[in-house]
C-alpha cells in the first residue's frame, strides 16, 4: 500500500470501498422445497383417502358382478354343484332307500310320500367338515321352498331357500348369518335340494 509523505505512523483516513453485506452477518439458509406429492397430501389427504375407498368398493362390486353364477341341479343322473359333479353309483352304495351321489361331496336324497324330499350332504370347506340337512317341499304350482341347516365346523347356519317356477328358475337363498345368494338351475334340468355351503 502506498502512503502519502509525512503520514508514517498515522492512521490512513482515506475512504476505502469495502463490500459490506446488507442485513446481518448470520448465514442464510436456502428454503426447503416440499415435494409436490407431499403438498398435495397435506392439502387433500382426507379427500384422497375417501377416493381410494370408493375405488376399492367399485372394484369389489365389479368382482361380485362378474363372478360366475352358482348352479345346483340334477341332469342325466349326475348332480352338478357349483362346478363340481357327483355321480350316482350303480348299486346306490348298497342303500335300499333314497338316492346316493358321491364325489367331492356325498349327497343322499330321500323321497317322502307327500312329494317332499329330505336331503343330507357331507363335504369339506377349507379343511373343516360341513354337514347339511334340507327339508324340501312339497312343491306348489308356483314355487318350491326348503329349509336347510348347515353345520360348518362348530358354527350352525340356517338357510331359507325359495324357487319360483315362473320365468328363469333361480333359487333365492337367505341365511341366518346374513348371506344372500342366487343359485341357478339349468333349463330342463331337475330341481334338487341344496344342503351345501354354497358361496362360502
- Provide the pLDDT confidence category of residue 169 given band limits of 50, 70 and 90: confident
pLDDT for 38 equals: 64
Q: What is the pTM of this model?
A: 0.65
Give the three-class secondary structure for 93: helix
Q: How many other C-beta atoms lie within 10 A of the C-beta of residue 77?
A: 10
184: phi > 0 → left, psi -120 to 50 → alpha, else beta; which? beta
pLDDT band at 187 (very low <50, low <70, confident <90, very high): confident
Angle at 167 between CA 195 and CA 179, to 5 degrees: 35
Q: Is the pLDDT of residue 158 over 50?
A: yes
SS3 content of the chain, % helix, strand, coil (to 5): 15, 35, 45
Residue 156 confidence (pLDDT):
97
- What pLDDT shows up at residue 129? 95
The rounded percent of the chain whose pLDDT value lies above 70 is 66
Cell representation of residue 56 = 376399492
Q: Between 33 and 65, name the one with better pLDDT.
A: 33
What pLDDT digit, counting tens, does each position of 109-155 carry? Answer: 999 998 899 999 999 999 899 999 999 999 998 999 999 999 999 99
- Please name the residues in contact with 73: beta carbons below 8 A apart, sequence gap of 6 or more: 79, 80, 185, 186, 189, 190, 191, 192
Instruction: Quick: pLDDT tens for 51-62.
Output: 555 555 544 444
Tell me the backbone φ, ψ of residue 194, rounded to 5 degrees. -130, 70
Q: How would residue 161 be classed by pLDDT, with cut points 50, 70 and 90?
A: very high
Is residue 89 within 8 A of residue 103, CB to CB? The reply is: no
- Does residue 1 surpass a pLDDT of 50? no
Closest CA to 98 of 74, 82, 72, 120: 120
Amino acid at each position: 500500500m502506498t502512503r502519502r509523505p509525512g503520514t508514517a505512523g498515522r492512521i490512513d483516513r482515506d475512504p476505502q470501498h469495502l463490500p459490506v453485506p446488507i442485513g446481518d452477518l448470520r448465514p442464510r439458509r436456502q428454503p426447503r422445497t416440499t415435494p409436490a406429492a407431499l403438498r398435495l397430501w397435506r392439502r387433500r389427504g382426507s379427500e384422497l383417502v375417501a377416493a381410494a375407498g370408493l375405488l376399492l368398493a367399485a372394484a369389489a362390486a365389479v368382482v361380485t358382478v362378474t363372478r360366475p353364477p352358482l348352479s345346483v341341479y340334477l341332469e342325466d343322473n349326475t348332480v352338478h354343484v357349483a362346478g363340481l359333479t357327483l355321480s350316482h353309483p350303480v348299486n346306490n352304495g348298497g342303500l335300499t332307500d333314497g338316492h346316493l351321489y358321491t364325489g367331492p361331496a356325498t349327497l343322499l336324497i330321500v323321497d317322502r310320500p307327500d312329494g317332499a324330499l329330505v336331503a343330507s350332504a357331507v363335504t369339506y370347506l377349507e379343511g373343516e367338515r360341513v354337514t347339511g340337512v334340507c327339508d324340501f317341499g312339497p312343491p306348489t304350482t308356483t314355487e318350491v321352498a326348503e329349509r336347510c341347516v348347515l353345520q360348518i365346523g362348530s358354527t350352525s347356519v340356517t338357510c331359507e331357500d325359495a324357487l319360483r317356477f315362473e320365468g328363469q328358475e333361480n333359487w333365492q337363498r337367505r341365511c341366518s348369518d346374513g348371506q344372500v345368494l342366487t343359485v341357478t338351475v339349468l333349463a330342463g334340468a331337475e330341481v334338487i335340494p341344496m344342503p351345501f355351503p354354497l358361496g362360502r
